[in-house]
């Protein structure tokens, strides 16, 4: 059990008397803290300003004093004057005190829980005998809160929820409706399933741990019989209104309700009764809604309305019939749903699932008259192996290719190749607009969720997105023309299958403009999860798979194609090519670090020749909306913007293996993608030999008439209701 507390203090370093005026840095100073027992590896971390940079003080710089007091010495000229976070790691108990020279500490919180009314200075004076006490502008120190959990007393910051306190203590209270995405600062605190109720002394009702902030003196019992009975009853009731068809459910073995029932050891449903039933909605290519399975956790609402601001889902009807649905209980197909699938990713059960197309793939693979080729999107390789219980953090590209070959695809190609192609067209378009200084900023349009979003919600900005098709559709168009011709197959007999991290791609492939002459460029789209289930069905053993390479000519890609998987990647890829084309010089460093990351909106100014290119990246449609509103209001202007519908980009797509709220997995997928890029011999799209060949043999040059005919598209205004 890890009950180590990490206490964070906000510290403002005032202009000190002895400050180095030239460097504006602090002189050496000491941080003192106390612990309840001996700390094995004492450590003080100072996060500078925005939190980007940190200084760790440890080892010899920390001396142990008497009674488990520690003194850390921070060297001179290390810490600039300003607001910083100071984190003392390794304190077993939270009643520690952090001491900094009173002369130049402006505020520090929180400190001593025994005497919360004392200011820092008074406290320090008392504890360390420093004096005299100076008048202070310090804000009142928020009182720490002392609570007892199952007889164990802990001290925590105010506003901490019971759930957070117990998790810090290593006690796991079951939750179902609660959902927290740390990397995106999103918490779904509905408090509606009541599976997390605990007993609190002197309260006549049980309280939901997920949304009850602790108050001083609270005595919490997580495992009293009353709480256990109530939690079991809640789960029993949910199961009583839930179809018991786990074996044939899309969410089998990834279902949080199933897991809870297993953990609770619930073997019989006590309160059986009528079950609510609703019509199944499968009128669209991407998402199936089977609300008989809905447990009213409402996570999908938060995903749709708060994170994505698409705003179509809401609780409807009352009482036993209450359920989540679009307004007027319309089918998703008749709404402004963008099919991003974030609702599916948030759904703890099988109420929302992908429109499964695996059987169509089996049928095609077993049709001797068809040539079946497959493309696999950049983000798939960063998560495919997770479906086989392998840890996130590496790419499974080689095994993925082998798995696809084993399934029987005639040729295994890479969407990354098409991503390079997208860059050729998009960067060309960008340079043209930049040179004419018109229709700026250019917005990326590789993401079908984002495309449908602006078609519904920002039709007035429809001149901004690049007309270049997405990599998936470029691949399809080239496969059914250039490639079909090359191998002498009638396009009608060539089946293009896509493996995508995305559900909106299923919808995108079905758009009528992507089926010239009634022949779809991309015939079948399956998600990463669907591919994994096909492999399992086919008895493919992940561990035994050899590493192998994609086929050519549509399988070669640069590192620029790989990073399409992460938010910021498309923009970075475009900048790599655009800057070389504009300046005619080779880039010294292809890594545009400023545009990388999981945060919702990032901005960067990139110098290309004489031009300062202002770029922005947004992921998550809510962030996209905020950015676009700023542009509309004239509060911001850019030259180029990348937008991805899913927070963090395609690595977090609605078709990826479920992360169940653990955003650390996304961080790992992201790292894996950039590592793959770094190891690629070619890292710029325009240096991809097969791309060059494609233009030489077939397309002419980027932006040519033929390229426009095959690789560009148009958008249409859609209803915003």
Partner 1 sequence: MTVAKPIITNSAQLTEFTAQTRTRMSDVTKINILVSMGTCGIAAGTTPVLKALEESLAAQNLTGVKITRVGCMGLCHSEPTIEVVDTASGKSVIYGNVKASHAEAIVAAGVHPAEGLKVIERGWYYPEDEENTQDAPQARIVLRNSGRINPEDIQEYIAQSGYQALCKVLLEMSPKQVVAEITDSGLRGRGGGGFPTGRKWSFANAQKPKEKYVICNADEGDPGAFMDRAILEGDPHAVLEAMAIAGFAIGAKNGIVYIRAEYPLAIERLQIAIHQAREMGFLGKNIFGSGFDFDIDLKFGAGAFVCGEETALIASIEGKRGEPTYKPPFPAIAGLWGKPTIVNNVETFANVCAIIRNGAGWFKRIGTTGSPGTKVFALAGKINQVGLIEVPMGTSLREIIYGIGKGIRNGKQFKAVQTGGPSGGCIKRDQLDTTIDYDTLVLLGSMMGSGGMIIMDEDDCMVSVARFFLEFTLDESCGKCTPCRIGNKRLHEMLTKITQGKADMQTLQKLRDLSASIKDTALCGLGQSSPNPVRSTMNQFEDEYLAHILEGKCPAGVCADLVTYSINENCTGCAVCKKRCPVDCIRGEKKSVHVIDAEACIKCGMCLSSCKFNAIDRK
* DSSP reduced 3-state for 28: coil
Residue 205 lies near partner 1 (rule: CB under 8 A) = yes
- Name residues contacting partner 1, limited to 639-698 (CB under 8 A): none
Query: Residues 441, 442, 447, CA angle at the centre, nearest 5°?
Result: 130
Residue 213 lies near partner 1 (rule: CB under 8 A) = yes
Catalytic residue list contains 30: no
CB of 192 to partner 1, least distance (A): 5
Tokens of 392: 């996130």
Give the separation between CA 156 and CA 168, rounded to whole angstroms: 10
Give the separation between CA 41 and CA 540, rounded to whole angstroms: 46
Q: Considering the complex, state which of residue 323 and residue 461 has its C-beta at the smaller distance from partner 1.
A: 323
Give the separation between CA 122 and CA 99, rounded to whole angstroms: 11
Q: What is the enclosing helix (H) or strand (E) of 414?
A: strand 411-414
Residue 721 lies near partner 1 (rule: CB under 8 A) = no
- Point out the catalytic residue in the list 221, 336, 469, 505: 505
Catalytic residue list contains 274: no
Give the separation between CA 307 and CA 560, rounded to whole angstroms: 28
Q: Which of 577, 564, 642 is nearest to 603 (CA)?
A: 642
Q: Considering the complex, state which of residue 28 and residue 322 has its C-beta at the smaller distance from partner 1.
A: 322
Judged by CB under 8 A, the residue of 19, 234, 509, 643 near partner 1 is 234
Residue 240 lies near partner 1 (rule: CB under 8 A) = yes
Residue 518 φ/ψ, nearest 5 degrees: 80, 0
Stretch of 41-49, 231-239, 483-491, 518-526 lying at the interface with partner 1 (CB under 8 A): 231-239
Tokens of 552: 């050519």
Catalytic residue list contains 466: yes
Q: Considering the complex, state which of residue 189 and residue 706 has its C-beta at the smaller distance from partner 1.
A: 189
Judged by CB under 8 A, the residue of 42, 90, 174, 208 near partner 1 is 208
10 Å Cβ neighbour count for 582?
Answer: 18
Q: Considering the complex, state which of residue 187 and residue 360 has its C-beta at the smaller distance from partner 1.
A: 187
Q: Considering the complex, state which of residue 318 and residue 436 has its C-beta at the smaller distance from partner 1.
A: 318
Cα dihedral 710, 511, 715, 711 in deg (nearest 10): -10
Give the binding-site size for partner 1 (rule: CB under 8 A): 37
SS (H, E, C) 552-563: CCCCCCCHHHHH
Give the separation between CA 660 and CA 251, rounded to whole angstroms: 12
Give the separation between CA 478 and CA 520, rounded to whole angstroms: 12
- Point out the catalytic residue in the list 446, 502, 535, 646: 446
Tokens of 522: 């991309």
CB of 329 to partner 1, least distance (A): 14
Q: Considering the complex, state which of residue 11 and residue 190 has its C-beta at the smaller distance from partner 1.
A: 190
- Point out the catalytic residue in the list 329, 513, 537, 585: 513
DSSP, residue by residue, 124-147: HHHHH---PPPP--PPPPPPPEEE
* DSSP reduced 3-state for 676: helix
Judged by CB under 8 A, the residue of 45, 237, 266, 489 near partner 1 is 237
Q: What is the enclosing helix (H) or strand (E) of 155?
A: strand 152-156
Give the separation between CA 303 and CA 344, rounded to whole angstroms: 9
Task: Tell me if the bond preceding 132 is cis, omega within 30° of 0.
Answer: yes
Q: Considering the complex, state which of residue 125 and residue 323 has its C-beta at the smaller distance from partner 1.
A: 323
CB of 212 to partner 1, least distance (A): 8
Give the separation between CA 422 and CA 417, rounded to whole angstroms: 9
Q: Listing from the earlier edge strand, what are the strands of the sheet with 152-156? A: 152-156, 145-149, 219-221, 197-200, 207-208
Stretch of 225-233, 352-360, 438-446, 577-585 lying at the interface with partner 1 (CB under 8 A): 225-233
CB of 189 to partner 1, least distance (A): 8
Give the separation between CA 500 and CA 355, rounded to whole angstroms: 13
- Name residues contacting partner 1, limited to 304-343 (CB under 8 A): 314-315, 317-323
- Point out the catalytic residue in the list 34, 285, 301, 429: 429
CB of 611 to partner 1, least distance (A): 44
DSSP 542: G
DSSP 604: E
Q: Considering the complex, state which of residue 234 and residue 395 has its C-beta at the smaller distance from partner 1.
A: 234
Q: Considering the complex, state which of residue 194 and residue 289 has its C-beta at the smaller distance from partner 1.
A: 194
Query: Would you tell me the crossing angle of helices 528-537 and 358-365 to the nearest 10 degrees?
Result: 60
Residue position matching structure tokens 């060297």: 75
Catalytic residue list contains 101: no
CB of 176 to partner 1, least distance (A): 9
Q: Considering the complex, state which of residue 298 and residue 357 has its C-beta at the smaller distance from partner 1.
A: 298
Judged by CB under 8 A, the residue of 147, 238, 249, 606 near partner 1 is 238
Catalytic residue list contains 599: no
CB of 291 to partner 1, least distance (A): 12
Give the separation between CA 664 and CA 209, rounded to whole angstroms: 23
* DSSP reduced 3-state for 206: coil
CB of 272 to partner 1, least distance (A): 8
Site string for partner 1, 266-305 (x = CB under 8 A): ----xx-xx---------------------x---------
- Point out the catalytic residue in the list 256, 426, 556, 687: 426
Catalytic residue list contains 199: no
Judged by CB under 8 A, the residue of 62, 72, 123, 193 near partner 1 is 193
- Point out the catalytic residue in the list 183, 402, 466, 577: 466
Judged by CB under 8 A, the residue of 192, 222, 375, 685 near partner 1 is 192
- Point out the catalytic residue in the list 508, 572, 642, 667: 508
Catalytic residue list contains 572: no
Contacts of 716 (CB under 8 A, 6+ apart): 455
Site string for partner 1, 151-190 (x = CB under 8 A): --------------------------------------xx
Catalytic residue list contains 650: yes
Residue 86 φ/ψ, nearest 5 degrees: -120, 120
Q: Considering the complex, state which of residue 212 and residue 428 has its C-beta at the smaller distance from partner 1.
A: 212
Catalytic residues: 426, 429, 446, 466, 505, 508, 513, 650
The contact set with partner 1 (CB under 8 A) reads: 189-195, 197, 205-206, 208, 211-213, 226, 229-230, 233-234, 237-238, 240-241, 270-271, 273-274, 296, 314-315, 317-323
């Amino acid at each position: 059990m890890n009950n180590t507390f990490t206490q964070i203090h906000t510290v403002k370093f005032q202009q000190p008397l002895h400050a180095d005026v030239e460097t504006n840095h602090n002189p050496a100073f000491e941080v003192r803290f106390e612990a309840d027992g001996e700390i094995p590896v004492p450590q003080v971390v100072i996060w500078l300003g925005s939190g980007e940079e940190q200084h760790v003080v440890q080892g010899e710089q920390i001396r142990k004093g008497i009674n488990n007091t520690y003194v850390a010495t921070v060297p001179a000229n290390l810490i600039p004057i300003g607001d910083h976070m100071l984190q003392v790691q390794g304190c077993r108990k939270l009643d520690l005190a952090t001491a900094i020279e009173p002369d130049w500490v402006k505020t520090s919180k929180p400190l001593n829980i025994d005497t919360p009314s004392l200011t820092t200075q008074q406290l320090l004076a008392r504890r360390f005998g420093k004096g005299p006490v100076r008048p202070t502008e310090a804000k009142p120190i928020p009182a720490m809160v002392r609570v007892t959990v199952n007889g164990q007393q802990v001290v925590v910051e105010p506003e901490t929820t019971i759930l957070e306190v117990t998790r810090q203590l290593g006690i796991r209270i079951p939750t179902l409706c609660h959902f927290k995405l740390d990397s995106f600062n999103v918490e779904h605190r509905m408090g509606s399933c009541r599976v997390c109720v605990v007993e609190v002394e002197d309260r006549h009702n049980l309280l939901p741990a997920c949304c009850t902030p602790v108050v001083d003196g609270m005595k919490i019992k997580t495992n009293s019989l009353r709480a256990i009975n109530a939690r079991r009853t809640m789960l029993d009731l949910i199961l009583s209104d839930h179809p018991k068809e786990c074996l044939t459910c899309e969410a089998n073995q990834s279902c949080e309700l199933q897991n809870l029932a297993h953990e609770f050891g619930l073997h019989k449903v006590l309160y059986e009764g009528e079950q609510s039933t609703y019509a199944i909605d499968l009128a669209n290519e991407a998402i199936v809604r089977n609300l008989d399975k809905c447990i009213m956790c409402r996570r999908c609402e938060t995903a749709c309305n708060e994170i994505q601001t698409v705003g179509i889902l809401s609780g409807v009807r009352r009482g036993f019939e209450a359920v989540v649905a679009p307004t007027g209980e319309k089918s998703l197909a008749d709404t402004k749903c963008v099919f991003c699938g974030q609702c599916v990713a948030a759904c703890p059960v099988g109420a929302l699932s992908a429109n499964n197309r695996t059987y169509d793939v089996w049928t095609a693979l077993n049709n001797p008259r068809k040539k079946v080729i497959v493309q696999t999107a950049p983000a798939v390789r960063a998560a495919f192996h997770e479906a086989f219980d392998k840890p996130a953090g590496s790419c499974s590209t080689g095994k993925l290719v082998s798995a696809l070959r084993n399934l029987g695809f005639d040729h295994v190609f890479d969407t990354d190749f098409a991503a390079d192609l997208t860059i050729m067209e998009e960067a060309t378009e960008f340079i043209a607009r930049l040179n004419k200084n018109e229709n700026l900023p250019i917005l990326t349009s590789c993401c079908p969720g984002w495309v449908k979003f602006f078609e519904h919600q920002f039709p007035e900005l429809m001149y901004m997105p690049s007309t270049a098709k997405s990599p998936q559709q470029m691949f399809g168009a080239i496969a059914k023309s250039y490639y079909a011709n090359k191998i002498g197959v009638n396009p009608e007999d060539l089946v293009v299958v896509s493996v995508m991290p995305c559900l909106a791609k299923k919808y995108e492939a079905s758009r009528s403009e992507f089926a010239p002459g009634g022949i779809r460029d991309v015939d079948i789209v399956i998600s990463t999860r669907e591919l994994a289930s096909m492999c399992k069905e086919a008895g493919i053993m992940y561990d035994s798979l050899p590493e192998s390479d994609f086929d050519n000519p549509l399988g070669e890609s640069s590192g620029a194609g790989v990073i399409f998987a992460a938010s910021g990647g498309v923009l970075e890829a475009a900048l790599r090519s655009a800057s070389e084309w504009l300046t005619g010089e080779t880039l010294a460093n292809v890594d545009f670090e400023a545009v990388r990351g999981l945060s919702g909106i990032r901005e960067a100014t990139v110098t290309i020749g004489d031009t300062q290119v202002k770029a922005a990246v947004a992921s998550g449609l809510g962030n996209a909306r905020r950015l676009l509103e700023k542009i509309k209001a004239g509060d911001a202007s850019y030259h180029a913007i990348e937008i991805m519908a899913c927070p963090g980009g395609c690595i977090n797509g609605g078709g990826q293996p479920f992360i169940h709220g653990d955003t650390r997995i996304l961080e790992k997928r992201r790292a894996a993608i950039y590592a793959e890029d770094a190891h690629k011999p070619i890292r710029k799209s325009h240096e991809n030999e097969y791309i060059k060949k494609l233009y030489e043999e077939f397309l002419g040059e980027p932006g040519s008439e033929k390229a426009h005919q095959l690789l560009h598209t148009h958008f249409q205004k859609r209803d915003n209701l």
